[in-house]
Every structure is written in C-alpha cells, then in structure tokens.
Structure 1
Amino acid sequence: MSNCAACPDAIDDNNFIKCNRCSKKFHLLCINIKKGELEKAPRDYESNWLCPICLNKQPKSDNSRKPVRPTTPTGMADMTFINTRRKLHSRTDSDPSIHLSSASDAGIHNIREIIRDELRGVMKDFMADYMTDFKNTIKSQFSEIMSEINEFKNSLEFISEGFDSMKKELSAANAKIALINKENETLRSDIYSLKLRLNTFDQLSRSSNLEIQCVPERKAENLIIMVQELGKSINFNLNEKDISYCSRTAKLKSDSPRPRSILVKLNSPRTRDCFLAAAIEFNKKNHENKLNTGHIGILSTKVTPIYVTENLSPENKHLHAAARKVAKEKNYKFVWIRGGRVYLRKTETSEAIFVRNEEVLEKLNKL
C-alpha cells in the first residue's frame, strides 16, 4: 500500500493513476480527473500519462502545457504577465489528453489555492490571537505603569506639599531669626552702652580716691599716719579730716609677692587731684630719688619705689594693663592716667592717644 503523491492519504482502491516517468501514484480526485473520462480516454493514455511535475520538466516547444496562472501575490502586483495563445499542432479540442492535462493543471492550481487559503486563514487566526494577546498584555502592563505613575504622582504631590509647608516654616523661621538677630544687635548695643555708662559711674564714684602701691606691709601699721607722712614728703599736708577712708585692698592674685595696695578716700576730688599733682611734681624734681619707702620712714636694707595713682574701676584697670603691654611691645615711652582715662604717647613731641577701649589697642598692634 502506498500514499498519494498529491495528498498524504493512502491509496486503497483502483481510483488512481500512475506516472509513467516517476512512478508516483495520484488519486484521480487529487488531479481533478473523473473516472468516466479516464474510461473514455485512449488505451495508451494511462500507460503514457505523466504527472504534472514530470510534464513540467520535459522540454516544451510552445506554452501549451504551461500551468494555469496563479493568483498574483501582493508583492507581484506590479508585474506584467504575457499571455500567448496556445498553438494546437497535432491535438484538437476533441482530444481527451488535452482535457486531462488541463484538468491536472487545474487540480494543482486548486490545491495551491486551497493551501494558500488555509495558510492565509491560519496566519490570520494566528495574527488575530497574537494581536489579541499582545493587546491584552500591553493593556495590562500599561495599566500597571499608569497605576505606578499615579502612585508616584500622589507621592510627589505629598512631598511637594510637605516641601511647600517646610518652605513656609523655614521662611517664617528665617524671618524670626532675622528679627531675633536684630533685637540681639540692639541688645548688644544697649548692653555696651550701659556697660560704658556703668563704668563711667563707677569711675566717677572713685573720683576722690587714691591708690598707693608697693608700700610694705607691717604689723600694727597706722595707714593714716603713713599717708600723712607721704603727703609731707611731697609738700602736701593732709589732716585727719581730709581722709574719709583708708585701708589695704585685696590682692587680685593671692600668690603675688607685691604688698597690698592702700586705698585712700579723700574728702573731695579737688583734694585728690592736688595730692596727685604734688606727687608728680615731686618725682619730676627728684628724678634720681623718686618717691620710695625711705620718704615715709620705712628704713630697710632695700629701698623700694612707691607709686601714687588714681583708683581705677576694674574695667579701666584691665584697659590700663593692656595699654602698658602694647606700649612695651610698640616702644611707646609714656603711659598715664588722667581723670580715670588711659593715655599713650610714643615720644615727648608726639600726640597723646586716648585709649577709649581695646579696639584702639588692636589698631595700634596692626600698625
């Protein structure tokens, strides 16, 4: 048992024909030949019959056995087919072989058309299913993407609202900080002004005070008599009524070897100024023997100098010490106090510099 060369079905009856050249068998129905037509054909037709494949392979002198023109594919729509009229040499319309050959060609053409239609249908169904699945997949993925975009948009809006709120709060905080800074600057200015005024009042309250430094301490010492003896040495007599208060002050540094200073409060600023002027004049006249412990009756192996100055406020004392340090570094020859104020002078002929605050000393250091 063999199969048909045109279709995959087996040949199990006598309704077939065999090719004389390739020996392949074909169902009569597959090559579009009716059994009645085969019976009417000449006796040698069946023994000389050639299948369409072998028939197309043999040389042709004309196009009488040219297959039926197939349906023009889309890609060949612009091609031109030249149709030539068949030339009938030895056969006539009544020749059964002509009809059988034409029938075979028509059967192959029909098979091709069926296969093409089936392929078109399969491709169409496949593309339809594929496009449907593709569209559904794209739609699903697009929905997921849009959902994520919406979530991202909502998150971005939430963050944006939070950022705007923070921005407003920051702006308000900056405005508040600016106001606080402005108030702080005002308060600093007021505090500095109050500090200056307080220092001025403190210094004015000391306008009648004298400070006598470097006087050795002794047990059972009488400070009033000691001050009076100092006045006699500089030719300025003081009685007890001129002295309102007299006492030793506390040391700023407990380990300092210098004796405690003597604070003297006189009855008026004028008396204080006159006593200071007398001490300055005495030191000028006695340049080689300035005020010392010998002038107040303290006799010892070592004579130490005595200094008479104004009683300065703590702020002015600190400023006076800083001025002396700068004078030493910058070779300023004179540092003195007048009326609670600190002055500097580099030489005898140079202009005096009023040390109002430490900023003046900083400027001098930069010169």
Structure 2
Amino acid sequence: MMRCEACNTDIMNNNCIKCTRCNKQYHTLCINLSDEDLQNEKTSNKWLCPHCRSKQPKGDNSNTPVRPSTPTSMADITFNVTRRKVNQARTEPQQIASLSTESWRQEIRDIIREEIRDALQETVGALTSTLTANLREINEEMKEFKVSMNFLNSEFEKLKDDNTLYRKEINQMRKENEMLRFELTDTKRKYDQIDQSLRANNVEIQCVPENKTEKLLNIIKQLGRAVNVSINENDIQYCSRIAKMKPDSIRPRSILIKFNTSRLRDNLLAAVGAYNRTHVQYKLNTHDLGFTSNEKSPVFVVENLSPENKNLHAAARIRAKELKYKFIWVRGGRIYMRKNETADKIFIRNLDMLNKLT
C-alpha cells in the first residue's frame, strides 16, 4: 500500500496523483488539486510534485546575452540614453528611501502571507486526510456494528417467537397433565372399587396362631360353631394364610377365606359381632377356636380389604386416637367413623378427607 509523501498516511482511494518523474504519490487534498485539475493533470501525464518542480530552472536562459570575451573598453557598445525634461521634478533621496522601505515591507508581508497560506493548506490537507481515513474506518466499523445488531435483533426475534411457542406448549402440557392426573385418580378410584368388590365374599381371621400341621378347614368350622354359624366345606371356595403387610411384624399371618356367597360372609361377620357384644369380658379368642395350650389371645374376624383401603383404615385408626373419636368400623369395604354415640357417622373416602377432620 502506497503512502502519501505530504501527510505520510496510507492512500485508501483513487483521489491521488503520481509524480511523472519520481513516481511518488500524493493526496489531491494535500496538494490542493480540484477534481477538474486532477483530470487535466492525469490527462497530460506531465504532473510534477513540488519537490521535482523546485529543481527545474525558473525559465529559458538560452537568449540571455553573454558577456563578450573582449574587454569592455574595446567593445563597440551603443548606449540608448533618454534625456529627461529639464522641468521634470527630481526625486528626493529621502522619498526614494521611503518608497524602497515600504515596498520591501509589502514584499515581506506577501511572503509571510504566502508561507502562512502554504502552511495552513498543508496542515489542513494533512488533517483532512487523517480525518478522512479515520472517518472511513469509523464508517466501516459502523457498518459491521449495524450488521451485528441486525443479526442479534433477528436472533432475539427468533428466541422471542420460540419462547412464545414454548409457553403455549407448556400451558397445553399443563392442561393435559391436569387432565391426565384427574383421569388417573378416577381410574385408580374405580380400580380400588373393582378390587374391593372382588373381595365381597372374603373374610380375614387375624391373630390365629400358626402351626405347621394345622388344618385351616377345621379352624374355620370351629369358628362357625363358636359363633353359632353353620359352615360346610362346600361353602368355602378358597382358604389360605396370606403374606404380612409388614414382614417384621410378630403377629401370625392372617387366614383368608373366600366363601361362595357374600351372604354367608355377612352372616359370619354379624355373628362374630353379636358374640363379642354378649361376651364383653371374654371376646372371641384362641380358646374358642380350640387352642387350649396357649393363653387366651383375642381373635379378630374382619372384612378382606384391598391394600389401599387397608392403609386408609390404619390411618383412620391413628387419626381417631388423635381426635378422640370413639367409634371406627368397616362395612361393605367402606370405612366409617363417629365421634360419639350422638354424632353422625362419617364415610372416609380418602386421606384428604381424613386430614380435614376436626
């Protein structure tokens, strides 16, 4: 890249001219050339820079008279003397000296003005060239900044649109989630109802001691005889010990009985309840079932609840102790509570309802 010999800065555009003798380049502003002068100089192809122009002769001296080689006294010289009129006023020496001093001063003033003008032109040219280069750089940087801002603005608009879309999708997913949660709760409730209805013929005998040689049918028949209910083998569809809900519990496994009809199940539960009411001091216990070798320990005959209802029943018993509710019972797979003899019964549907009790 070429540099201007006047301002010593890089030449960035075509507004420059090259010296035809030294091949040095100059800004047009630095040498004070107009566009018209620039076109004329480039067309003539004879432009010289100020440095080369200063080395040229001031004019053609080929016609300058040469002093003759012969002595002046011997040369044939013709003098052209103009005689002034006698009556023309002669210039006084002081006036001549005054005129010479004034012209000298005027000449110095002109020289100073010219030097100042040249210096100002050179300074202004250098400043103009520097400012032009700086402005060009600033313009380039502004263009790049504008491009960057346009890119960032477009990306921000995309993010804004995506954010709006994602918000709509999230709201839609929330609605769908609430709907699915409601459907899941409803499905779970229906499943629990179906599960409990399938246990309508079942009954559990709890706290009966276990024995490897035990015969569960004999225990069940003895239970029927104790509470005055006739139970035959043909009335029983299935009977077995069931696994504990809490493996670390010391209580023996419960006996599950599945009757052929729910009526027989209800009769057995009603008879056990009547037996316990008539034998308040000695409610149904292991001796009633033929276990004479052990101490009298209570035996409970209850409905076979689903796992969900068993957990709810256990929570209801704990809550009843906290609130000092006097009665809690199960009827038809449903859990009821009553605070005292005069209070209304409360059907416990779920844990939320249980926690709202006061």
TM-score (norm 2): 0.70
Change beyond 3 A, Cα 1:363–1:100: farther
Q: CA deviation at 1:184?
A: 2.1
Does residue 341 (structure 1) correspond to residue 334 (structure 2)? The answer is yes
Q: Which runs of 5+ in 2 are unaligned?
A: 1-88
Amino acid at match of 1:350: A
Further displaced range: 198-207 or 329-338: 329-338
Residue 361 (str. 1) matches residue 351 (str. 2): no
User: Matched residue of 1:146: which SS?
Assistant: helix
Larger Rg: 1
Q: Is structure 2 residue 147 aligned with structure 1 residue 154?
A: yes
Q: What corresponds to 1:168 in structure 2?
A: 161
Q: Which amino acid aligns with 1:248?
A: R
Q: Helix, strand or coil for the counterpart of 1:176?
A: helix
Number of matched pairs = 270
Q: CA deviation at 1:204?
A: 0.3
Counterpart residue identity of residue 300, structure 2? Y
Give the one of 110, 114, 124 matched to 2:117.
124
Q: Which residue of 1 aligns with 2:250?
A: 257
Q: Is 2:226 the partner of 1:233?
A: yes
CA distance in 1, matches of 2:170, 2:239: 53
Q: Which runs of 4+ in 1 moved over 6 A?
A: none
**d(CA) in 2 for partners of 1:282 and 1:143?**
110
Amino acid at match of 2:275: F
Q: How far apart, in 1, do the equivalents of 2:122 and 2:356 lie?
A: 93
Whole-Å separation in 2 of the counterparts to 1:106 and 1:355: 133
CA shift, 1:239, in A, is: 2.1
1:285-324 matched pairs, under 5 angstroms: 285-324=278-317
Residues 296 and 133 of structure 1, relative CA distance in 2, 3 Å threshold:
same
Q: Give 3-state SS (helix, strand or coil) of 2:295's partner.
A: coil
Aligned: 1:181 with 2:174: yes
Matches of 1:357 and 1:339 in 2, distance apart? 16
Q: Give 1:106 shift.
A: 3.9
Correspondence for 1:203 among 186, 196, 201: 196
Distance 1:219 1:156 in 2: 86
Distance 1:227 1:118, change over 3 A: same
CA distance in 2, matches of 1:209, 1:148: 88
Question: The residue matched to 1:251 in structure 2 has which SS?
Answer: coil
User: Structure 1: which amino acid aligns with 2:290?
Assistant: G
Matched, 1:330 2:317: no
Is 1:135 paired with 2:116? Answer: no
Aligned-residue offset at 1:205: 0.4
**In 1: Cα distance, 2:94 partner to 2:158 partner:** 92
User: What is the Cα deviation at residue 309 of structure 1?
Assistant: 0.8
Amino acid at match of 1:354: F
Aligned to 1:110: 103
Match of 1:273 in 2: 266
Amino acid of the structure 2 residue aligned with 1:138: L
Q: Which has the higher contact order (CA 8 A, sep 6+)?
A: 2
Tell me if 1:216 matches 2:213: no
Gaps of at least 5 residues in structure 1 are: 1-93
Aligned pair in 2 of structure 1 residues 326, 102: CA closer, same or farther (>3 Å)?
Answer: farther
Letter in structure 2 aligned against 1:208: N
The secondary structure found in structure 2 opposite 1:224 is helix
Separation in structure 2 between the aligned mates of residue 234 and residue 345 of structure 1, nearest angstrom:
27
User: What is the rounded CA distance, in whole Å, between the counterparts of 1:107 and 1:344 in structure 2?
Assistant: 138
SS of aligned partner of 1:264: strand
CA RMSD for the aligned pairs?
A: 2.1
- Alpha-carbon deviation of 1:343? 1.8
- Aligned residue identity for 1:309: V
Q: Percent identity between the aligned chains?
A: 43
The two structures have a TM-score, normalised by structure 1, of 0.68
SS of equivalent to 2:189 = helix
CA distance in 1, matches of 2:193, 2:126: 97
* Inter-CA distance 122–272: structure 2 relative to 1 (3 Å threshold): same
| Distance in 2 between residues matched to 1:350 and 1:103, nearest whole Å | 146
Aligned to 2:186: 193
Structure 2 CA distance, aligned partners of 1:308 and 1:155? 82
Q: What residue in structure 2 maps to residue 60 of structure 1? A: none
